Structure 1
Amino acid sequence: MSILSGKNILLGITGGIAAYKTPSLVRLFVKAGAHVRVVMTDSAKEFVTPLSLSTVSKNPVYSSFTSEGEENGLWNNHVDLGLWADIMLIAPATANTLSKMAHGVSDNFLLATYLSAKCPVFFAPAMDLDMYRHSSTRNTFDILRAFGNIMIPATHGELASGLVGEGRMAEPEDIFSFVEAELYKKLPLRGKRFLVTAGPTYEAIDPVRFIGNHSSGKMGIAIANSAASLGAEVVLVLGPSTETEFHPQVIVERVVSAKQMYEAAHVHYPDVDVAILAAAVADYRPTSVADQKIKKATSALHIELEPTQDILASLGTLKKQQFLVGFALETENEKDNAIGKLKRKNLDAIVLNSLNDQGAGFGKSTNKITFIDKEQVSIDFPLKTKVEVAQDIINEIISRIHA
């Protein structure tokens, strides 16, 4: 999954020969899962058609303040378009357009949209060698960078004039990689290492039977995916689960029993910055496991159980630099029980959910949580999808580890 997945990208195209490459650029963004809208100047239409761009972007192409071909043309709202964008990219960016951007000129729809944008703005210059080297152009670059705009440097190569030198627009693949890399550098969890546990554990009775629970692992997996999408390196220790949607940056280590999860968590724990134990670990296991399938009998079957190792408590005793988060699934005296668990197990925070809340609990796609930190500051969240809940949990962690 690309960091650009789900992002709203506004591509501005100006009148340079390199505009013919922009359909390929749009395809790269769309393939990465981004939503792309295109704004182009009238002169850009001499090099690439709006039809081509609307086809590959699957969206209308904008070039004027009113819809073309309408007797009573509808207004295209450049302010809404600028606010819609998570990223604005102007490629190719001619010397003329860049100069106008630097000096606040707003004589076409693209420039008006640029001045309305609140998002990061990238620009990929494309012009001839002498224009690229001219002092006024260099000054324009400096002004735009001072505004916080991000320049994608032109490359060395053959130019439209026949000259060979600097000024050629970066290739679509290189522009795509540049934008991805810049966004990655700004991710709040870049360089952080996470350990997440998820899913149930199965404690064997015999070769075919086990003690388990109804946990699907969805909540923990959503947390791992959310942390990875914000730049973290994530190890997910996952009990038996049928879930298969993992962020590419999540390393999945599958286990079955509580003992295996305990061992895996302890292997990775010393090297992580944050550990989030969302797994529903069995509290008990059979004291002995039958070698063969236990045959059904008319008399009652008695299975002696012993406690499993407490993974969360053991990590709490080993805690050094780690930010340790546990989960509490309660049915009564919910907040008091959760705070008690937080204190006993030396946690930095605990995520409380109650089986009494409709829409929360095992196997569902939604959850309702209260986030409680070690200062006993608690934040109640409404019922949300587990993906949204995961984002809330990660945001609360970020606010504390970056404080």
Structure 2
Amino acid sequence: MTMKAIRDLLPSAKAIERELIELRRKLHRNPELSFEESETAAAVAELLRGLGLEVRSGIGGHGVVAELTGSRPGPRIALRADMDALPIQEETDLPYASERPGKMHACGHDAHTAILYGAAKLLSERKDQLVGSVRFIFQSAEEINAGAQVMIEQGVLEGVDEIFGLHNLPTLPAGKAATRYGALMGSVDRFELNLTGKGGHGAIPDQCVDPVVAASAIILSLQSAVSREISPFDPVVVTVGSIHGGASYNVIPERVEMTGTVRTFSRSVQEGMPSRLERLINQTAEAYRCKAELRYTQQVPVLVNHDDNVRHVEDAIDLILGLENRVEANPVLAGEDFSVYLQHVPGCFFWLGSGPATGAEQAYGLHHPKFAINEDCLSVGAALLAAISIHRLGV
């Protein structure tokens, strides 16, 4: 009964595909940034109530949570989607392009929201096939790595036994999915550095203490933290993303400010990075007679899938798409705050193909101003999330 019920999901999802596309395009035209998703949340809550679900709003910012109870008591699994957009000016020229200047769904969270709504609709029509319950989590503020933690603090995981989620991947053709055991995505840390020297005339450097030169030396020294202090078998990235100092070509500034990110692929390496950077920065700054002030923030941990949950996701993919359309995901150092959920309950996060089916068209990557998805992935994603639920809770 369960296998047949799962195999029937994709045709059912195809039947509601137009509704999912329309929802996704509505959200795409009206993107909202992290912790500003009030209109998105209101639209989602209204749709979920229309399915007869118990809905709570305003959790973790503008997060929305809905509950679906099956025919008999049993475990509770959670399915999660993120809703926020990015501060990017869209350049797609699509008829449903963003109508809000400087804001864009350049990571596909509009698609994720539509997909999870689709899964909720498919499952609400099959609740008599479930032993247990499903919690649908529509999360705020993933892009700034803050929403998951706030939702957890406000009880979103209470009573949850397992959690599952997905992310679209434009470099993987629609109709395929990718899974990985263990670590899938990197940790995300942020650092901010202020360097103070002594400003003055650019023609009289001996009477100054130049923080620009110190900053350049620090940027180079930080790379030695990767190349000479960490095993080459432990992936690490240290990137300085911004540097600001000075306002005139002939003036040595008093101050230089830098920000950057650190990505790792193991918890032990992540834990050691703050002290490593502090040592390199302070000693290099001292060598150039500057004062350094470092603020280091650990944002999210490495995203580590749980083996049993990966196996169940793979079973669902094989039943919906076929074994030939499931591939092994490569590890990436991009981060995802779904990793915070996985520190509390077991679960699995996987990639959903959202790229051109043939590979002949150019696929722009996540966070690109010309990013676009193949909307065929919407019904596939909805069917997969519903299949995972029935596979875990099916009669």
Verify same fold: TM over 0.5: no
More strand by share: 2
TM-score (norm 2): 0.30
Query: Computing the radius of gyration over CA atoms, which structure comes out larger, 1 or 2?
Result: 1
